Structure 1
């Protein structure tokens, strides 16, 4: 049965505040000290210091080279942001429904490990598996074991929770921290792998299990003077049994190094941090689990939220993007075909309205994909500008739940889940000037 995400969020928030949880690998005192250093346990509107955030400040104007990414990052395809690479939306025009691997964004906390598929093992362990009382049972699978099991193939987007973060500052004047993504920290792929539910049952899942926690094999992450260990984030067993897969192929090929080789988690519709890359072990627990990635990070803090923050983030939000670069020029008196994509974590895309005059008027775009939750829909609209000058293109999606992109997004200190309509600046020129 699909998980009731709002009920899960409320329950986990209460358990975290009351200390009814297991936070493996880092003490509650360290988590609270790190959160206090970041300023996220207050209701002040002051920015979080960049050193206490998982990534560089969104106010940084000159990104450093991306260390530790394996694949080529040509500037026409990517914008480098610290240890990450953002897809340029203009590079997706004409590429089809699935994001080509050479254009798929990269989100790394540290650097991409080059793991050997032949020696890789997945350990499934914990108090939520069958075993002697008080003892953790463990079962191991290699890649050959997984490939022998029945597989599934799914289309799903993966998106960083901070995608669109820079617009908090540029459109709303809010101060936030984190990687200054525009809208390119998202990609849709065709993933093939084994249902996580099948692996859990083979490992001896019991009715006592409530949470599981995949952990990556990338380097340990150190921030604020605290070693937080390897990237890991819990999810409820109900989500794992619903639609999560252990993926070993991406767009018909073995997973590339930067995207989780040899095996990763794909958790459709959930924030990117739930899709752990390079997974090496999964703890299955009969008590709630916590890590820094659902206590200090990937929750909402700020004046609009309780002092202790929101519940851990689960489902993604609603966004739209044009497949053209910001500041692009268009000739007046000529018909142009505007293209873009919209996506939602809560429903399929029902329709998209586009404005070519900075929001003064709107027209309905043509949709090219049927609405499905957890993937995007491509759309297009003809535009015949007549007068030269600066303008802004806007796209506003409505999903099948009735949710629509708002004019503004309630700010939070770490800049997550920006869902407002983005103003895309362009210029119309006289035909001879283009």
Structure 2
């Protein structure tokens, strides 16, 4: 059904990505002027092994386990013929921001040293997972699902898989086959992937091929060895600006950025241009989506020349505001502190 390709299939030009071994981080300046959704050509990639090449004509999605009355298999064409739903949702790596534990808080964490570019928002289309579960006769005593990917086994841990509670599965999870109006690209899960809104990216299993439904709590290395006690992400903000960007003194600029939270809608964004001594409310006229991000902007005419730290902090509808520091996490998850974004203002 599959054969090995390059670790990542799509081009990874240096002006769009920072490459971390088998993963690729989006450069935030690449989002400037790109509209609400992250274009596929700059959407980040996180692989445990390599992107597989799967033939959709032989691919099957198997649903099985004691939590179902009518287990079975579905073809790609059968899935595409089912009732569909389209959602705008973010996929974010659990370790997004890990590098900042070291560079900003001077307490490094092991793992891929992501900046803030391990996130993307796309328009996903597919079959609601609850429809498939109902079609397969979900039992009332079902507790957990275990979706598994068809990429190569990771070390001695087997295929990537992570338990998902029935409550979440029946809420808003999508079995997606389209991304931004196109069939899923290979790097992003073709032919089918899960999209689990609001949860860390490891829950949105790519290259989906198997879903076990159990009447007991399930485990896998991806919730016991890796990603323990990680479900949703904290509030975060990023500028659509290069790290160490150079701006001209006295010239008016509109600084753009985006904020998001795994807990709910963003309701307020404040920006500091003086390293946190004063804060100004940013303007936003974008969508207030629970599962995605909020674009915002603020005007600034920088002067005098010199080094500056731009800072943005967001507040979500639960009342949580980004703190100035984040308690250290031994695996580098949950970095949600206000990021100090360095720039230089120079004379023209």
TM-score, length basis structure 2: 0.97
Q: Is the CA contact 2:99–2:108 (under 8 Å) kept in the aligned structure 1?
A: no
**1:20 corresponding residue in structure 2:** none
| Unmatched 5+ stretches in structure 2 | none
User: 1:163 offset after TM fit, Å?
Assistant: 0.2
Measured in 1, the distance between the counterparts of 2:135 and 2:302 equals: 60
**2:43 corresponding residue in structure 1:** 104
**2:137 corresponding residue in structure 1:** 204
Q: Is the CA contact 1:326–1:424 (under 8 Å) kept in the aligned structure 2?
A: yes
**1:356 corresponding residue in structure 2:** 273
Measured in 1, the distance between the counterparts of 2:303 and 2:7 equals: 47
Q: Is the CA contact 2:65–2:71 (under 8 Å) kept in the aligned structure 1?
A: yes
Q: 1:407 aligns with which of 312, 321, 324?
A: 324
**1:396 corresponding residue in structure 2:** 313
Measured in 2, the distance between the counterparts of 1:274 and 1:198 equals: 19
Where does structure 1 differ by over 3 angstroms across 4 or more consecutive aligned residues?
Answer: none
Q: 2:26 aligns with which of 87, 92, 96?
A: 87
Q: 1:248 aligns with which of 162, 168, 177?
A: 177
Measured in 1, the distance between the counterparts of 2:305 and 2:137 equals: 67
> Going by fraction, where is strand more abundant, 1 or 2?
2
User: 1:385 offset after TM fit, Å?
Assistant: 1.1
Q: Is the CA contact 1:67–1:83 (under 8 Å) kept in the aligned structure 2?
A: no
1:264 and 2:193 are equivalent in the alignment: yes
Which shows bigger deviation, 66-75 or 162-171? 66-75
Larger Rg: 1
Measured in 2, the distance between the counterparts of 1:397 and 1:118 equals: 45
| Unmatched 5+ stretches in structure 1 | 1-65, 131-136, 300-311
User: 1:88 offset after TM fit, Å?
Assistant: 0.4
Measured in 1, the distance between the counterparts of 2:345 and 2:232 equals: 38
Measured in 1, the distance between the counterparts of 2:317 and 2:306 equals: 36
User: 1:360 offset after TM fit, Å?
Assistant: 1.3
Q: Is the CA contact 2:272–2:312 (under 8 Å) kept in the aligned structure 1?
A: yes
Measured in 2, the distance between the counterparts of 1:96 and 1:209 equals: 41
TM-score, length basis structure 1: 0.78
> Going by fraction, where is helix more abundant, 1 or 2?
1
The C-alpha deviation readout for 1:324-357, integer Å capped at 9, x for no partner, is: 1111111111111110100111111111100111
Q: Is the CA contact 2:262–2:290 (under 8 Å) kept in the aligned structure 1?
A: yes
User: 1:93 offset after TM fit, Å?
Assistant: 0.2
**1:164 corresponding residue in structure 2:** 97
1:116 and 2:55 are equivalent in the alignment: yes
Measured in 1, the distance between the counterparts of 2:327 and 2:291 equals: 23
User: 1:232 offset after TM fit, Å?
Assistant: 0.1
Measured in 2, the distance between the counterparts of 1:372 and 1:253 equals: 22
Task: Report SS of the residue matched to 2:170.
Answer: helix
Aligned length: 344
User: 1:175 offset after TM fit, Å?
Assistant: 2.7
Measured in 1, the distance between the counterparts of 2:74 and 2:41 equals: 29
1:366 and 2:283 are equivalent in the alignment: yes
Task: Report SS of the residue matched to 1:79.
Answer: strand
Q: Is the CA contact 1:358–1:393 (under 8 Å) kept in the aligned structure 2?
A: yes
Measured in 2, the distance between the counterparts of 1:426 and 1:200 equals: 50
Measured in 1, the distance between the counterparts of 2:135 and 2:303 equals: 64
